[in-house]
Amino acid sequence: MPLTALYCGFVKYDVEGLDGTWMRTYGAAVFGLPDFAALAQGHHEGERYSELFDNVLSYLRESGARMVAGHTMQVGEASYMRLREPLPHEYFLDGPDQVLVAEIIEESEINHA
């Protein structure tokens, strides 16, 4: 079973004044792992991000690997997840445990940059 289904939480919420919906995990610190957050286009992307975060948390737990801000991980055939610390205006991500913001980058975006 995915960690977010049994032990960790996964929430979606809108922040007033921001376009999109924030997706994030809670409670991964119990396993010595960071929580993840991402700004999605909307609530309809909940399953995508829940599955993504579940897969990354499972990988980290099973492999013993560590991820920190600045790391990039391939998360699809042509997709990458770049991690960063929350920005000061993302105060709503503050909490007692580490949260890394995931920015999804498509290979097509890299090739056109």
Give the closest residue to 57 by CA, choosing from 9, 89, 15: 9
- Give, for 100, the enclosing helix (H) or strand (E): strand 99-106
Alpha carbon dihedral 20, 88, 37, 105, in 10-degree steps, equals: 70
Output the pTM of the full model. 0.88
Query: Which DSSP letter does residue 65 get?
Result: -
pLDDT means over runs of 10, the chain (113 residues): 67 91 94 95 94 92 95 91 96 93 85 57
- Ramachandran angles phi, psi of 19, nearest 5°: -80, 140
